[in-house]
Structure 1
Amino acid sequence: MRRRGRLAPLALSLLLFACEPGTDDTVLQGPSPSAVRLEASGGYSATVRRTSHGIPHVLANDYAGLGYGYGYAFAQDNVCALAEILVTVNAERSRYFGPEGTYVATLGGDIPNLKSDFFYQSIKDAGTVESLLALTPPRGPSEEVRQLVRGYAAGFNRYLRETGVDALPDPRCRGAEWVRPITELDLYRRYYQLSLLASSTAFLNALVDARPPGPLTLPLPLPDVLPAGAIPRGADLGLGSNAIALGHEGTRNGRGMLLGNPHFPWEGSERFYQVHLTLPGQLDVSGASLLGVPVVLIGHNANVAWSHTVSTGFRFTPYELKLVPGSPTTYLYNGQLETMTPRTSTVLARTADGTLEPRSHTFYWTRFGPMFHYPEGFMTWNSLTGYAFRDVNATNLRVVDQFLAMGKAHGVDELKQAQDYWQGIPWVNTLAADDQGRAYYADSATVPHVTDAKVARCVLSPVSLLVYQSARLPVLDGSRPDCEWGTDADAVQPGMFGPGRMPRLTRTDYVTNSNDSYWLSNPEEPLTGYDGIIGDEGTARTLRTRLGLKMVQGRLAGTDGMEGRNFTLEQLQTVMFNNRNHSGELLRDAAVAMCRRNPFILLEDGRWVDVREACPVLERWNLRGDLDSAGAVLWRQFIARVTVVTGGPYLVPFLATDPVNTPRTLNTLHPQVVQALGGAVQVMRDRGQPLDTALGTVQRVPRNDARIPYHGCGEVEGCFNQFSNWLQPDFTYVPFVATSFVMAVSFTDAGPVGRSVLAYSQSTNPASPYFADQTWMYSRKDWVDMRFTEADIASDPNLSVTVLQE
């Protein structure tokens, strides 16, 4: 039976009050609220109920009002963050922050402001977003999304107008000239930026660096293989996630259950914000969205919960062009000569004396897309060859509609139908569970239609073969029409695989994903037979993937030390934060024995290291990444060195017939493995750190005057609760891409029960009470109740209610 929430009388009266003509806006605080007057005008109405930790529950009677309330609430917490994002997508960073400045992109590394501006200005000059907005659904936005976005902009602007730029509570942008009212087009440019995150923006520098070469510019000499990470993918910076979806065979109460654990940046434009959106009779969804997005991206409604993990599929392919000698902007296609089209973009840049001067850059466009120059991947524009970049998400503005439709689904079947219709997920897998006890996995993200057969006939040159053999990225022959992307009949746009060609699995026990490919979502039913551009099959899984599978299998079998079999919600929460270090579980005992056999180790630089003190430290280590885990820091140094051992550190190799348990067994006779222990001990001593340093003493995130310790550990360590950290000059770590919005949801006879924690907290404003509160909760492994029903919201001890009307 499907259950729909009912509005409590208090909420209904507030909504009606909000819609009365001429009613002043009101703020109500606490269980016995008092009224505070706000200025009223005319046009939108919404009620924003904030519960503990600043989580807004937005209630409205139309989509415009829903966006209005969300935009207003979001601006209260993150006005500076969104304002800076919009400076970026409007190609104004050089104008306001100087052309020489940089910012950190999630996948693109350090991006110079001027290069960023040239890239985004080229999108503006082409009218790309405007053209996509002119399309009809499903290729263009629905009327519902248009209303949401219109309302969101109005709500954000309402806050800005009331507060005033000079009086903003966040000192980082108070009085800044770059903070201004926003437009709907600003927001759509932001959503387009998100679609390109794992494709064009990951190669932003290479796209701007492309310029016609001199007459005698030769290709680079080719190595045997590309260095690791030469072709950026999500896993290269830890951008990823874990998710577990449980069906009725995997839960104690026989209904569905879901754990979502996205690993996303703690700073910058890809942070999450928690929200609950209610439009009675149409939408009631709770979860989190990325900054500026007016819909829930990871969350639950009354019937289904879902999360995402970054997919292994490529969203782009380069095309290798055969150039005409002496004319590097002319290339051969189908036996004919074609000339590239130059497109010049001009931006304003602030000079040292504060004046603005124009700066220009010319991009060269081919039939496939713009040229790019990428020496790291040996795809350079030289006198003989050049490389064009084709992005499957270059025509994807469907992302907001995609997630709005998923938020309305009444189960995994309707969620799947929503994905099949919009096909707007740009670069993530989906895992979902519903109240009927079904667990669902899908890699339904956009992927270029490049079959294995096409790869066999179109990846032939030395560079193309090098890139494909090293990174599995097809670099296609740009001179042949038969090497153009294909199209499936069920694809929403040309050039991509349709949903019928993508991996999917529905189970009644479980599915998982931790950023490896679709292959082992459930080892009992491997997914096989898909094209290689989507992901690999029959290959070794990461330690994190293996640990996630083992934790689920151990719980279902009742062999993990917890009570009973199958999951309760509390046990799912425990699994999330048990902080097991799987590399330690597999290798620690052998490393301790090796330590005792080799009390003095000769390093490659000729130094002898006494490691005797390390042996009992590693032996006593609790094999976890908890705050008090003494020895975890020493192990981190050791395992980082072990993973790069020539030929690998394992005695038992990977076996496709036993993928969860192999490879395993440390090769303690390998000289580099022995040296890894000596190097780990030496670096700890060089830093002045005791070998038994506890993790919580070095993993600390600054929040104003506090340094908050955080638990979890890194990808190479094999931790499910994964953190990619930046090592600081004082040899402490701060998180970069890491556990962010954690959500555990169980469906019960009474409806969904959800718990969450937003590890970096709701607000980016250091003056906000929501700047560090959940960060402290995360440090203590505490959770927030995701208040979903009207009764839950009304009973929150910190409830405040704002009734907005314009």
Structure 2
Amino acid sequence: MANFHQAFSILRRKYFLLPSLSAILVGCTGLSFTDTKAAYDAELYRTEGGIPHIIAADWGSLGFGTGYAAAQDHFCQQSRNILKFRGQLAANFGPANGNLASDYFFKLLAKEGVYDESVDEEFEQLFAGYAAGFNRYLRDTGIDNVTDPVCGGAAWVTPMTAQDVRRFHLTPAFLPSFAPLILAAHPPQNSASSVSTIEQAKQLAMLDPGKGNQLKEYAASFYNPTDKGSNGVAIGRDLTGDESGLLFANPHLNWQDFDFRMYAMHQIIPGVSNLLGANQAQRAHVGFGTNGDVAWTNTVSTSKAYMFYKLDLMPGNSLAYHYDEEQRSIEPVEVTVDVRDDNGQVRSQSHTFYKAGDAFIVGGKFPWNSSMAVSLRIANEGARGFQGGALAMARAKNVTELKAAINHYQATPGINTVAVDSHGDVLYGDLGPMVNFTDRQMSSCQLYDGPLYQGNRSECAWNTAADAAAPGLLGAGRQASIIRSDYVTNSNDSYWLANAQAPIAGIQQVQGSRNSERTLRTRSGLAMVAAMAEQGDVNETTLTQTLLSNQNYAGQLLRDDVVAICRSQPTAVVQGQEVDLREACEVLAAWDLHDNLESRGAHLFREFIRAANDDKFTRWLPKAFSYRIPFDENDPVNTPRGLDRSNNPAVLPALAKAVLRVESSGIALNARLADIQSTTRAGERVALPGGEEFEGVFNKMAYGPIGKQGYPEVTGSSASWVMTTKLAPERTQVQGVVAYSESSDSSSLHYNDMTKMFANKQLIDIPYTVAEVKKAALSQRHLTEGVAQCAGGGWQFFARDERACERQFEVIKKNQLKSFVEK
């Protein structure tokens, strides 16, 4: 691709197809892979919803077909991400909108050697093929013919390299979330960039006794924002009745963040690997899904995967701190980026980061003054997922092997794993990289009620375990897990109640709480599993329909008591205004206790719970209420529940506030949810079901407070990839839907088709075997690329001359891997 940029201008002038370069639309009845001289040879099928199925004989060709498909669906977003991960946004778009800060951070990662790590040869070839497939789409289409208005005809679009794909994959999953804090660190002696005296006073105030919880919440908001979540439910053979296993996957991710946008895909090397599922849209491989023997999904974990350390500085030196009896330095790390100004001129601009050992110094609400600084250390996954981890998971034959793979590499950052196998065994495990800290250290090293830990003593350093994948990580043998044959589930609570009949005990505090109140969504999921088990023989239809039923668990626990309290006293005074509650009482009494499209009054209850929580996000029942049955650790699924009807002074004011909010928005108290809750895709309004975290709706959808148009757009972490898998020795059955649809291109047919399906709780039957894919295919492309593309001037896209181009493709073809490399 040495001269691709030189040839790129051709693409700007016209639709350009070299001989033999076009992707041929055919109606083949079998797999071909017939171009014996092609370095890359893949079949790309599309089935309902636009889901791509890539079938190839080697890893490079598999990547080639995947990159081509991803470009069809996300070309403009992918093109912008190329610049983002290179640290070139400001050079193309100017410093505003966070571009400069983003560039500094990604340049820092590059300088720290994050992208220089070795990866498995399978991934090397997959990455190279992915970039080649993306560029093939660009050459086939021509930039001026790209129909996505985000980048069609744009001068900033550039070809992708294999190094770009490496960046997509090797960027730590959660470290970028802390970028604002790392960027905000400035030493006090640097008056040009240090924080103001007022800001220093605010920082120090956060360290006052009693403020620790605020600082803890502030710190946690970067790593795991409170509305982040997911659901994973695995049903084993004891409950299915036919020796099969079922998995329901529903990761909750931000609809507005492309870096975490889920993309469904299917990748097959016949006789070697068959992976169906989804992953982040810029990833070249399946991440959440099945290999036919095992199916798995992930949920955000409560384990401690990072730690903020208070460093007491040396007198008179804000770039040095004492550690036991020695002095250690805080080292500057300078990066330089190009920045385009308002006149179109590009100039260089630098920023200095600071490190204390392998931890970054942070700013924001964390002080850096003459006496102290704060450092951040993260239990990163490193490149281990691409140094054996992901492939070991992909090759697992059962949940025991899957657990062993995850244990060995500890490369699943900040997440739980919920899985099932074709023998009907199920797995829950919180097995990713996490801080190796004893319970004694958790208490003796803790400062300010928990957000900070003592960073000047070796006794507060992370411990090293023989069975950990890297120094400082908790050993695999101490991590929470359970394998059973009935069920496991997780909805972002700790490990404790993965199975309500078998609470997990003996786990260190770093993995979260136990014997404590569970979140509403956790309780809802466990209650629904118990109800299905009681009915007997759970199948894939029952599982999907139940978990997408939009039951409002807070409503189930509280509604009847709220109505009784309301009817006994149908008025309340809020801010000096008497509010008539009679209509609200009857609307709630008639509500069906769901957040479905036809549900009436669901929004009134939502605003009631929101008001009861003082508009603060929570995952639990409102603390302001008095409960008839308090939390009981021996009955954690069903408690707390019920309201004290005789002494609950916060109930009626909260309901009155909800009535005022709804009425001031001009919306009827008994409005249908379909009329006020929606998303707009390509100008078309799509009504959406689902409810908020703080209501305990399992099918979590996040919206802002009610307004004049109700809830007009999804605003936070919500359902993304919904997948139900049935595994049995004789067959793999998969159903799924991408809630926001497969493509981010607003001109695509697949920009809102699956959103409509999701709105109606419809999952697509997704074919798994090659024969099933061929039968279900709505389109097919046979994609090849090799020596033939060097003729007729085509070499200019790949090398310095025609012969160099031919040699390049000959080497690629010779070295293509057709199976796994045995290590």
Same fold (TM over 0.5): yes
2:521 corresponds in structure 1 to 544
Residue deviations 1:11-62, cap 9 Å, x none?
Answer: xxxxxxxxxxx987653355889x9xx9999421111111122111111111
State the SS of the aligned residue for 1:793. Answer: helix
Identity rate, percent = 34
CA shift, 1:719, in A, is 0.5
Going from structure 1 to structure 2, the CA distance change for 1:31 and 1:674 (only over 3 Å counts) comes to: farther
Q: Which residue of 2 aligns with 1:129?
A: 115
Deviation at 1:275, TM superposition (A): 0.9
> Is the partner of 1:628 in helix, strand or coil?
coil
Q: 1:69/1:401 Cα in 2 relative to 1: closer, same or farther (>3 Å)?
A: farther
1:86 deviation in Å? 2.5
Q: Shift in Å at residue 608 of structure 1?
A: 1.4
- Answer yes or no: is the 8 Å Cα contact 1:25–1:40 preserved in 2: no
Q: CA deviation at 1:648?
A: 4.5
Q: 2:410 aligns with which of 411, 423, 429?
A: 423
Summarize deviations over 1:469-496 as a string: whole Å, max 9, x none. xxxx5x3322112222111111121111
User: Could you tell me how far 1:783 is from its partner in structure 2?
Assistant: 1.3
Q: Deviations over 1:754-795 (max 9, x none)?
A: 111111111000111111110111112111011012222122
Matches of 1:642 and 1:30 in 2, distance apart?
A: 60
SS in 2 for 1:395: coil
- Output the CA distance in 2 between the equivalents of 1:580 and 1:299: 26
Q: Is 1:507 matched up with 2:484?
A: yes
Tell me how large the CA RMSD over aligned residues is.
Answer: 2.5
The match for 2:302 is 312
Contact 1:68–1:148 (Cα < 8 Å) also in 2: yes
TM-score (norm 1): 0.88
Which residue of the partner structure matches residue 401 of structure 2? 414
Question: C-alpha displacement at 1:231, in angstroms?
Answer: 2.6
Q: Report if the CA contact (8 A) 1:145-1:401 is conserved.
A: no
Q: 2:152 aligns with which of 174, 190, 195?
A: 174
1:184 to 139, 162, 175: 162
2:231: which partner in 1? Answer: 242
Superposition TM-score, scaled by structure 2 size? 0.86
- 1:399 Cα shift? 5.3
How far off is 1:502 after superposition?
0.8
Counterpart of 1:75 in 2: which secondary structure?
helix
Contact 2:437 2:510 in 1 (8 A): yes
Stretch of structure 1 that moved more, 230-239 or 327-336:
230-239
Q: Are residues 797 and 283 of structure 1, via their aligned partners in 2, closer, same or farther at CA, if it must alter by over 3 Å?
A: closer
Are 1:31 and 1:797, in contact at CA under 8 Å, matched by a contact in 2? no
Local SS of the residue matching 1:609: strand
Asked whether the equivalents of residues 431 and 511 of structure 1 are also in contact (C-alpha less than 8 Å), the reply is yes
Paired residues for 1:206-605 under 5 Å: 206-213=181-188, 220-221=204-205, 222=208, 224-225=210-211, 226-227=213-214, 229-232=217-220, 236-267=225-256, 268-375=258-365, 379-393=366-380, 395-396=382-383, 398=385, 401-459=388-446, 464-466=447-449, 468=450, 473=451, 475-558=452-535, 565-603=536-574, 605=575
Corresponding residue pairs, total: 743
Structure 2 counterpart of 1:575, one-letter code = T
Range 278-287 or range 209-218, more displaced: 209-218
Contact 2:602 2:673 in 1 (8 A): yes
Aligned-partner residue type, residue 465 of structure 1: Y
Q: How far has the Cα of 1:365 moved from its partner?
A: 1.4
Q: Secondary structure of the equivalent of 1:716?
A: helix
C-alpha distance in 2 between matches for 1:42 and 1:619:
68
Q: Does the Cα contact within 8 Å between 1:48 and 1:69 map onto a contact in 2? A: yes
Aligned counterpart, 1:787: 767
Q: CA deviation at 1:638?
A: 0.2
> How big is the shift at 1:166?
2.4
Secondary structure of 1:398's match? helix
Aligned counterparts of 1:50 and 1:718: Cα–Cα separation in 2 = 36
Is this contact kept in 1: 2:677–2:712, CA < 8 A?
Answer: yes
Q: After alignment, is 175-184 or 616-625 more displaced? A: 175-184
Tell me, what secondary structure is at the counterpart of 1:753? Answer: strand
| Conserved? CA contact 1:402–1:419, under 8 Å | yes
Shift of 1:749: 5.5
Q: In the alignment, which residue of structure 1 is the partner of 2:724?
A: 744
Supply the distance in 2 between the matched residues of 1:663 and 1:95 (Cα, whole angstroms): 55
Q: Which amino acid aligns with 1:51?
A: T
Which residue matches 2:792? none
Deviations 1:205-259 (A, max 9, x none): 1111110125985661225142383232566342211111111101132211111
Contact 1:581 1:625 in 2 (8 A): yes
Instruction: Provide Cα deviations, 1:242-284, integer angstroms capped at 9, x if missing partner.
Output: 1111111011322111111111122322111111111122211
- Aligned equivalents of 2:382, 2:777: Cα separation in 1: 46
Cα distance change of structure 1 residues 477 and 398 upon mapping to structure 2, 3 Å threshold: same
1:96 aligns with 2:92: yes
Structure 2: 5+ residue stretches without partners: 1-18, 192-196, 615-621, 787-823
Return the alpha-carbon distance in structure 1 between the equivalents of residues 483 and 505 of structure 2: 15
Alpha-carbon distance between aligned partners in 2 of 1:455 and 1:748, rounded to the nearest angstrom: 44
State how far apart, in whole Å, the 2-side matches of 1:678 and 1:590 are: 16
Name the residue aligned to 2:785: 805
Query: Using the alignment, how far apart are the partners of 1:370 and 1:252 within structure 2?
Result: 53
Query: Is the Cα–Cα contact under 8 Å of residues 54 and 770 in structure 1 kept in the other structure?
Result: yes
Deviation at 1:342, TM superposition (A): 1.2
Aligned-partner residue type, residue 231 of structure 1: A
Code of the aligned partner of 2:448: L
Cα deviation code 1:531-589 (max 9, x no counterpart)? 2122111111111100100111111111xxxxxx1311110111121110000000001
Asked if the contact 1:24–1:39 (Cα under 8 Å) also holds between the matched residues in 2, the reply is no
> Is the 2:665–2:708 contact (alpha carbons within 8 Å) kept by the matching residues of 1?
no
CA shift for structure 1 position 292:
1.7
Quick one: which of 61, 79, 90 aligns to 2:75? 79
Q: Given residue 27 of structure 1, which amino acid in structure 2 is its aligned partner?
A: I
